[in-house]
Structure 1
Amino acid sequence: MLEKLLHITKKLWKRRGVKALIAFVLLFLGLNLAVPLKVRPRYSTVITAADGTILHAFLSDDDKWRLATELDEITPVLRKTILHKEDKYFYYHPGFNPVAMAWAAVRNLTTGRRTSGASTITMQVVRLLEPRNRTYASKLIELFRAMQLELFYSKDEILQLYLNLIPYGGNVEGIKSASMLYFGKPPQLLSLAEITTLTIIPNRPSTLRLGLTNPLIVQERNRWLNRFRKTGLFTSEAITDALAEPLDAHRRALPKLAPHLSLRLKKSHPNQPVIHTLLRPNRQAQAEQLVASYVGRVRAMNIHNAAVLVINNQTMAVEAYVGSADFLNGYDGGQVDGVRAVRSPGSTLKPLLYAVAFDKGLMTPKTVLNDVPTSFSGYEPENYDRQFYGPITVESALANSLNVPAVKTLQQVSTPTFLGYLKKAGFETIKKQSKGLGLSVILGGCGVTLEELTRLFAAFANGGQVGHFAFVAPDQEDRPAKKSRLISEEAAFLITNTLTQITRPDLPNNFDNSYHLPRIAWKTGTSYGRRDAWSIGYNKRYTVGVWVGNFSGEGVPELSGANIATPLLFSIFNSIDYNSTSGWFRMPKSLSMRQVCSETGDVPGEFCAHKLVDYAIPGVSPYHRCQHQKAVWTNPTGTLSYCAHCLPEATGPESGNAVQRFYPNLAPELIAFYDSRRIPYPKIPPHNPACTRVFAQQGPQIVSPNDGSEYFINPHQPQQLQLSCQADNEVKQVYWYLNDKLYRKAAPTEGVFFSPQAGPLKISCADDKGRNTDIRISIRAE
């Protein structure tokens, strides 16, 4: 058998035709390696919506409208028409048609001039990719390139290239460009008459000019339609309808929706001719219209811009993206992308802080915090309205966006821990700033973007899981929209439950009656200096982020998250998801309910008369027994108190010597607050003056000056520093010492002033129980 095969091979090798064929193949492969074909059309970038409609289109880098036609846009009628006119045997030849070339050669020789080039669609693609002078040498190169094209590309891909590159006059190339620019529709929606029109123009682009020579184009179109009738390419009825169709072709502008996102995606996908976004065209148009209209109304207040982001919580798809009120308004910075601009977040980070505190077991929604003036090593935050509210629950502190409880909570959680959560949530600027950030971060002392804040609140909507947004279709996305756990499902529900309350100060004063109020959880924020107004809200289906302000950074007295940003948030929710039927968030099965004392939010003790129901995370939430009252022995008249050292031997009501009474167990900071506001509260009587016991408990807390700080004074303009402290409520007198010398005695809540001298200074404060506290500061002359 093997001998037979060798014999046949030898016989074939002796034939010249076989040798020539092998030599040709080897030559072709060698040339292919030496001069490979480079198919790199420079397409215009097209941004499409989720339904495939064009949102935005850009000129190619050589200033051409060259929109890429996708394979599914080449309809059977378009394919049939173009092949019948240009290359009937396209699917059968290897890139060139030998019969047509021979016939063209005969005609050219007999007539003495070139009457036909016999170019196939493949050869025309080569000519469009590599334009050359029309010579026989060029024809040979085209033949070689055509075979290369056929070797590496399918017939459909070659036809697609042809339709993308054919000229239509001026800077318009490709059938999709002509279809969109002159008929305002994509190729798959073209009629037979329109397809025929676009089929004949590339042969005469200088004379058949759409919009300018329409009558001439109609004559040529009808001539070809009648030829199609004769050959039976289409039915007679279809041809009759096409002949009667008027030509409504004129130059149109391509869509320019979502300009900020379009520019962003064009930059991030530089080699992608068609970028399929997940934007909903109706939703995008609604959002753009609402933003433009709203900014038009608030412009009288010197507020010139806004940005909006709409996210689908289930898919993390970006369904609307509005970077500014008017992209074309250069005066107000319309081309700045407000979705990615770094701004101060105001109070919008507080929900995450309390969620972390819930997960760390530091508190529950009913835990009571003290909203009183507090100095955090010199940092003295105030509330938005410059008022303090004393004891307040965590949920009320969050719903009312109080600042001191938030800073206290951050101090408990620790700034590095909280920054770690922000980094995990994707706050890029905070990652860069983290080394220099302190307690002020919770009140807006950092940089964030609307995109980052919206992603954070989408995590609350997704049960505590944070994920990347999906801007484009999955097959074009560099990274999938996966979600990872940021906070627990229980903490996310507790935050949502709090942010759903409508009895809160950030409900817009001028918003229409409650029937216009969408059912959402939302949080507002206003940055320092009233430069940024935020309102981020979510329901089961959507998360919407809103920023309002000026890109110049100019503050406006009327600017606030509640009254300026929230009305726009409500309008958008009422527009995209009014009366949503998607349900509401359900309490996780792992979350439990328990009774707590209304005074502290702790588990009730024996003295807790008023109780509330509170949420708790089993095994995580704190389980402290309430101690909001403490027992104190006093004389029968309640004018003196006794400690265990000086308590009379015979006690009780019958003895007449001492009586046990109960007093509020108040923190020194709350006592100072009550005293400064003249708020009455039951005070522990002065301690028995005859007692000689020295107390070992902590002495008064010096809150001013700040321990370890440096203070600069001007010797020519003497200044004074204030001495202040916080002490237990049984303390009636404190003593101030400067460098161990008595300076003055005063009431615990009294502010004492002194004139400092340059140099180191030791400040001491002792109470009437013998307890003492020292701090050291440094005074320097400027």
Structure 2
Amino acid sequence: MTAPVTEASEPTSHRSRRWLKGAVVAIATFCLVAITGIGAWIVSLPPLPFAEAHHVSTAVVDRNGKLLRAFAMADGRWRLPAHAKTDVDPGYLKLLLAYEDKRFWSHLGVDPLALTRAAFQLATRGHIVSGGSTITMQLARLMEPRQERSVGAKLRQAVRALEIERQLSKDEILDLYLTLAPFGGNLEGVRAASFAYFGKEPKRLSLAEAALLVALPQSPERRRLDRHPEAARAARDRVIARMVSEGEVSAEDAARAKLEPVPRLRKTMPFLAPHATDQSLAISKDAALIKLTLDSNIQKSLEALARDRAAALGPDVSVGILVADNATGDILAHVGSPDYFDVRRAGQVDMTRAIRSPGSTLKPFIYGLAFEDGFVHPESLIEDRPTRYGSYAPENFDMTFQGTVTVRHALQMSLNVPAIALLDRVGASRLTARISQAGGKLILPKDETPGLAMGLGGVGVTLNDLVRLYAGLARLGSSVPLREIIQSENTEEAETRRLMDQSAAWLVGNVLMGTPPPANGPRNRIAFKTGTSYGYRDAWSVGFDGRMTIGVWVGRPDGAPVPGLLGRTAAAPILFDAFARTGKLPVPLAKAPKGTLMASTAKLPLPLRRFRPAGDLIRTGSEQTLRIQFPLNGAQVDAYGGGEAKGLALPVKVAGGVLPMTMMVNGIAVGSIDSRRQKLVDPPGPGFARLTVMDATGAADTVVVRIQ
């Protein structure tokens, strides 16, 4: 009879199998629960803060992409965007990846080999020898900062790294790491660190500089250069030594790199063109990157020039300089004051936009309109003698008179009496209207109307507007708006506005090219004009060549007089030095437009040989003097009263003179006077019109009427 089998008598092999099966079930159950829990935990994680990670300091760059100025973020951090392919030294990138993440380009966010190596080293040596975090895991930690260092935190970084790799490309991950990596204090990103520690972009770094930038993010506060330079040096040298052991750096290069000193003080961030960058930030408030038309090399050179000259002129004197490209209107340099932080000079006031008295700097436009109207030529003779216009009697700056001179000489020597005589003939209102039409703005005193005094500075204007107007002369009579911010979406060409006709503008430039330069200044290099306002409050000099226009203002920001301050001695030398410091060779002015009259005084047509004020007619002999009987000079003609799209014909009646006679409207021939000495003229449009009749002997008469 067989005995019953009990548990005690159950074979050992059967019990082992049962225990093994139970253990497998338990482990499987545990893994399932763990995986389920981890999965639920992963699902519960909030979205990664990609948007916040892309918040950076506003950077203002020049036309070539060079940093002019950066603005700290609202919390005071400096974080500049960095792109691995364009902003960073390839040697630094090679060193960074060799030291931090050798398999960056191949892993999926987590490097199992690196984690295994780090765990083994920790187990065998009792301390951390090398980290197992990839660049992507470090980026995850930067995006979600955690104070504790635990297995849970490391697991979270790994999960986040996988998520980052799924959403971003490798290039985007590297760019974001280079932007967010901490470098001590309020410095984030390799570009901010390179500017703060080396004073330059990280595009060209020495081995020592690159190793230092690799070492700092591992422990940014303990290795801060301005607090713990020796710890930073030791960390840098460890990076170099490890790269030698791994064959990435030669022993000779390493030895030289270790001898290089470590910076102990932070440098200031780039701070060029503070007035221009302030204005651009006010206009483009939410932009991370603002691109200006400025050229940082020219800007830096002219800021130094303004500082030097202001220091020589006195502690209260300020200087403003503006440079514009003639062809495009792009502002290449904008110096609003010698020192932005100089309280005594009101350094934060932008003197390129301040309204000041222009002195004689408007005279070229008076002469230009006179040339356009055809009643004067640069070689015409004009009187520089005491003259009175009602109660107004202009005088020259030196209180002397030169008698009969050429118009060329009068403009080059900035004689006041001839300029006012021409303005009286051109009309102050017409000058104001033409400057406004060209985009300039003249500010008159309250309740004042344009008058003759504006020709000598009795009006307000900004350096910005003067530069635009003078650039219009260089462009042969057409002005374009000055532009300082480059709008990527704006591809339209700037709207041009008429200043004067081409021949008149060329003649003005030709005359100004011969203006005597300041002491030691080269002749016939630039066309320029100086100006000094009443009471020695403002000194100006504006000039141009075929490429650019530069304007200079000198004076006190508060408008107080500066005894002895003259445009010729204070502003003109700065103008010539500014042209030299741009590093550009002078470009000749444009050639004379077709049809421009080139003749000496003796060979000019009779009416152009000598300037005569309005109403002073040429006497030609025994014949009756030519004069326009209708319309009268200064008359208002209602040519559009009927509301027709095209104005009614304007009758012109002439007395005296010798047939045939030519009729001109605003300097353009419109036909001949008939045998009855009459002609019907099509009105040129509402506004002022200059009607001129010239007879066979060269005698002429002109009236100015207002058509409405």
Scaled by the length of structure 2, what TM-score is found? 0.69
| Distance in 1 between residues matched to 2:459 and 2:201, nearest whole Å | 47
Q: Tell me which residue corresponds to 1:82.
A: 96
Following superposition, the deviation at residue 470 of structure 1 comes to 5.2
The structure 2 residue matched to 1:455, chosen from 468, 481, 486, is 468
Q: 5 Å matches for 1:660-675?
A: none
Please state whether the residue corresponding to 2:458 is helix, strand or coil.
coil
Please state whether the residue corresponding to 1:593 is helix, strand or coil.
coil
Measured on the aligned residues, the alpha-carbon RMSD in Å equals 4.9
Q: Deviations over 1:676-700 (max 9, x none)?
A: xxxxxxxxxxxxxxxxxxxx99xxx
Q: Tell me which residue corresponds to 1:395.
A: 408
Please state whether the residue corresponding to 1:592 is helix, strand or coil.
coil
Letter in 1 for 2:100: E
Q: Tell me which residue corresponds to 2:219.
A: 204
Letter in 1 for 2:172: E
Q: Tell me which residue corresponds to 2:619.
A: 629
Percentage of identical aligned residues: 36
| Distance in 2 between residues matched to 1:112 and 1:218, nearest whole Å | 26
Higher relative contact order (CA 8 A, sep 6+): 2
Once structures 1 and 2 are overlaid, which stretch shifts more, 241-250 or 564-573? 241-250
Q: Is the 8 A contact 1:41 1:129 kept in 2?
A: no
Q: Tell me which residue corresponds to 1:593.
A: 598
Q: 5 Å matches for 1:342-381?
A: 342-367=355-380, 381=394
Following superposition, the deviation at residue 408 of structure 1 comes to 5.0
Q: Deviations over 1:92-125 (max 9, x none)?
A: 4555567878999999999999999965433433
Q: Tell me which residue corresponds to 1:661.
A: none
Q: Deviations over 1:499-530 (max 9, x none)?
A: 12346xxx65xx35xx7546221111122332
Flag structure 1 segments of 5+ consecutive residues without an equivalent: 1-19, 606-610, 615-621, 634-643, 645-664, 668-695, 698-782
Matched, 1:327 2:340: yes
Instruction: Sort the Cα spacing of 1:375 and 1:137 in 2 relative to 1 into closer, same or farther, 3 A.
Output: farther
Instruction: Sort the Cα spacing of 1:303 and 1:386 in 2 relative to 1 into closer, same or farther, 3 A.
Output: farther
| Distance in 2 between residues matched to 1:495 and 1:527, nearest whole Å | 22
Q: Deviations over 1:594-630 (max 9, x none)?
A: 57668xx6x338xxxxx9699xxxxxxx9x9x96335
| Distance in 2 between residues matched to 1:434 and 1:104, nearest whole Å | 83
Letter in 2 for 1:228: M
Q: Tell me which residue corresponds to 1:733.
A: none
Please state whether the residue corresponding to 1:493 is helix, strand or coil.
helix
Please state whether the residue corresponding to 1:189 is helix, strand or coil.
coil
Scaled by the length of structure 1, what TM-score is found? 0.63
Letter in 2 for 1:588: P
Please state whether the residue corresponding to 2:196 is helix, strand or coil.
helix
Letter in 2 for 1:501: G
The structure 2 residue matched to 1:423, chosen from 406, 430, 436, is 436
Following superposition, the deviation at residue 202 of structure 1 comes to 1.2
Q: Is the 8 A contact 1:520 1:539 kept in 2?
A: yes
Q: Tell me which residue corresponds to 1:568.
A: 574
Flag structure 2 segments of 5+ consecutive residues without an equivalent: 1-34, 631-708
Q: Deviations over 1:579-605 (max 9, x none)?
A: x5644543223323357668xx6x338
The structure 2 residue matched to 1:182, chosen from 190, 194, 197, is 197
Following superposition, the deviation at residue 39 of structure 1 comes to 3.6
Q: Tell me which residue corresponds to 2:679.
A: none
| Distance in 2 between residues matched to 1:477 and 1:557, nearest whole Å | 49
Instruction: Sort the Cα spacing of 1:433 and 1:310 in 2 relative to 1 into closer, same or farther, 3 A.
Output: farther
Once structures 1 and 2 are overlaid, which stretch shifts more, 557-566 or 108-117? 108-117
Q: Is the 8 A contact 2:474 2:589 kept in 1?
A: no
| Distance in 2 between residues matched to 1:36 and 1:315, nearest whole Å | 42
Q: Tell me which residue corresponds to 1:91.
A: 105
The structure 1 residue matched to 2:75, chosen from 44, 48, 62, is 62
Once structures 1 and 2 are overlaid, which stretch shifts more, 275-284 or 449-458? 275-284
Q: Deviations over 1:454-473 (max 9, x none)?
A: 2222222233332344546x
Following superposition, the deviation at residue 167 of structure 1 comes to 1.3
Matched, 1:484 2:474: no
Instruction: Sort the Cα spacing of 1:627 and 1:378 in 2 relative to 1 into closer, same or farther, 3 A.
Output: closer
Q: 5 Å matches for 1:298-309?
A: 298-299=313-314, 304-309=317-322
Instruction: Sort the Cα spacing of 1:430 and 1:562 in 2 relative to 1 into closer, same or farther, 3 A.
Output: same
The structure 2 residue matched to 1:497, chosen from 505, 510, 525, is 510
Letter in 1 for 2:542: I
Q: Deviations over 1:194-249 (max 9, x none)?
A: 222211221212322325444443433333334334444x2535764566443332
Following superposition, the deviation at residue 289 of structure 1 comes to 3.5
The structure 2 residue matched to 1:166, chosen from 163, 176, 181, is 181
Q: Tell me which residue corresponds to 1:195.
A: 210
Once structures 1 and 2 are overlaid, which stretch shifts more, 93-102 or 378-387? 93-102
Following superposition, the deviation at residue 493 of structure 1 comes to 1.1
The structure 1 residue matched to 2:557, chosen from 544, 548, 551, is 551
Q: Is the 8 A contact 1:229 1:239 kept in 2?
A: no
Instruction: Sort the Cα spacing of 1:557 and 1:456 in 2 relative to 1 into closer, same or farther, 3 A.
Output: same
Once structures 1 and 2 are overlaid, which stretch shifts more, 52-61 or 487-496? 52-61
| Distance in 2 between residues matched to 1:106 and 1:546, nearest whole Å | 71
Instruction: Sort the Cα spacing of 1:597 and 1:151 in 2 relative to 1 into closer, same or farther, 3 A.
Output: farther
Following superposition, the deviation at residue 269 of structure 1 comes to 4.1
| Distance in 2 between residues matched to 1:160 and 1:128, nearest whole Å | 13
| Distance in 2 between residues matched to 1:290 and 1:30, nearest whole Å | 58
Q: Tell me which residue corresponds to 1:604.
A: 606
Q: 5 Å matches for 1:509-524?
A: 511-512=519-520, 516-517=522-523, 519-524=525-530
Aligned residues: 590
| Distance in 2 between residues matched to 1:425 and 1:432, nearest whole Å | 21
Q: Deviations over 1:686-717 (max 9, x none)?
A: xxxxxxxxxx99xxxxxxxxxxxxxxxxxxxx
Letter in 1 for 2:606: P
Following superposition, the deviation at residue 36 of structure 1 comes to 7.4
Q: Is the 8 A contact 1:499 1:523 kept in 2?
A: yes
Instruction: Sort the Cα spacing of 1:436 and 1:228 in 2 relative to 1 into closer, same or farther, 3 A.
Output: same
| Distance in 2 between residues matched to 1:128 and 1:435, nearest whole Å | 64
Please state whether the residue corresponding to 1:629 is helix, strand or coil.
coil
| Distance in 1 between residues matched to 2:72 and 2:341, nearest whole Å | 18
Following superposition, the deviation at residue 536 of structure 1 comes to 0.8
Instruction: Sort the Cα spacing of 1:480 and 1:237 in 2 relative to 1 into closer, same or farther, 3 A.
Output: farther
Q: 5 Å matches for 1:10-21?
A: none
Once structures 1 and 2 are overlaid, which stretch shifts more, 68-77 or 412-421? 412-421
Q: Tell me which residue corresponds to 2:533.
A: 527
Letter in 2 for 1:523: K
Following superposition, the deviation at residue 538 of structure 1 comes to 1.9
Once structures 1 and 2 are overlaid, which stretch shifts more, 317-326 or 517-526? 317-326
| Distance in 2 between residues matched to 1:423 and 1:555, nearest whole Å | 29
Q: 5 Å matches for 1:222-261?
A: 222-232=237-247, 234-237=248-251, 240-241=254-255, 244-254=258-268, 255-261=270-276
Q: Is the 8 A contact 2:437 2:497 kept in 1?
A: no
Following superposition, the deviation at residue 307 of structure 1 comes to 1.6
Q: Tell me which residue corresponds to 2:696.
A: none
Q: Deviations over 1:271-320 (max 9, x none)?
A: 45555555555544443343333333332xx8612222234445655444
Following superposition, the deviation at residue 382 of structure 1 comes to 4.4
Letter in 2 for 1:346: G
Q: Deviations over 1:604-657 (max 9, x none)?
A: 38xxxxx9699xxxxxxx9x9x96335579xxxxxxxxxx9xxxxxxxxxxxxx
Following superposition, the deviation at residue 547 of structure 1 comes to 0.7
| Distance in 2 between residues matched to 1:137 and 1:666, nearest whole Å | 105
The structure 1 residue matched to 2:172, chosen from 149, 153, 157, is 157
Once structures 1 and 2 are overlaid, which stretch shifts more, 99-108 or 435-444? 99-108
Q: Tell me which residue corresponds to 1:706.
A: none
Letter in 2 for 1:190: L
| Distance in 2 between residues matched to 1:277 and 1:251, nearest whole Å | 30
Please state whether the residue corresponding to 1:182 is helix, strand or coil.
helix
Following superposition, the deviation at residue 145 of structure 1 comes to 6.2
